[in-house]
Amino acid sequence: MGLGLALALCLAGCARNGADRGFVLTSFGAVDPADLAVAESDLRATFQRPVRRLAAQTPPPEAWLTERAQWDAERLLAALDALPLRPGEKAVALVDADGARTDLTFVFGLAVPQGRCAVVFLPRLRDGDAAAVHRRLRTELRHEVGHLYGLPHCDDPRCVMAYSTTVGEVDAKGEDFCARCLKRLAVLRRPRG
């Protein structure tokens, strides 16, 4: 069985039991419509879930780190968490500006592990042609959504869940979950009760 089919079957069981209702896709500020289209298509295809689009959100002013000229990723997650989500929905926002955490100089993205919100920051992924940029976007989107489903970082450097601190590392890892992460995902998404 292919990894994509295994992921779809794993997530299908979760959806039947009401634990996974799909995604809300938005942005903080203006984002290229082509990037939003790539993200929407990838969420639908990879995770076999519906995607509901929301208009661009205004980032909260307190999330701007003036001295660093970056957005505070954790504060953007808090703002995203305040959106009116339906039960079982997960929110993903794209940001066409640099992001950071207080303990890191930058992040490609951030998610609340086993939570409902993730952000992906685009500027550091924009090195090369559109195909390379969109591949990186899909990779980082899948990585952050993997965290939403409870996956930790993976020590397989080709797995989408591998930790990356450079664009070269993003390019070196694949767009797919390794077999071990797929198995973990199946366990994490198994209905409880």
Split into its structural domains, the chain has a count of 1
Tell me which of 128 and 41 has the higher pLDDT: 41
- Residue 114 burial (CB < 10 Å; 0-12/13-18/19+)? exposed
Residue 190, domain member (yes or no): no
**pLDDT beyond 50 at 18:** no
**pTM (predicted TM-score):** 0.88
Catalytic residue among 67, 89, 144, 169: 144
Residue 125 CA to residue 110 CA, distance in Å, equals: 14
Residue 7, domain member (yes or no): yes
Task: Give the 3-state secondary structure of residue 29.
Answer: coil
Residues paired with 117 in a beta bridge: 91
CA distances from 186 to 12, 124, 177, 179 (A): 10, 31, 12, 11
* Residue span of the structural domain in which 15 resides: 3-185
Residue 160, domain member (yes or no): yes
What pLDDT does residue 11 have?
41
* CB-based burial, 58-86: b 16+ in 10 Å, e otherwise: ebeeebbbeeeebbbbbbbbebbeeeebe
What pLDDT does residue 189 have?
61
CA distances from 50 to 43, 120, 187 (A): 8, 19, 22
Residue 193, domain member (yes or no): no
Encode pLDDT of 89-107 as tens digits. Answer: 999 999 999 999 989 999 9
**pLDDT beyond 90 at 155:** yes
Residue 168 CA to residue 132 CA, distance in Å, equals: 11
Q: Are 92 and 141 in contact (CB under 8 A)?
A: yes
The CATH number covering residue 29 comes to: 3.40.390.10
Annotation marks residue 144 as catalytic: yes
Residue 191, domain member (yes or no): no
Residue 129, domain member (yes or no): yes
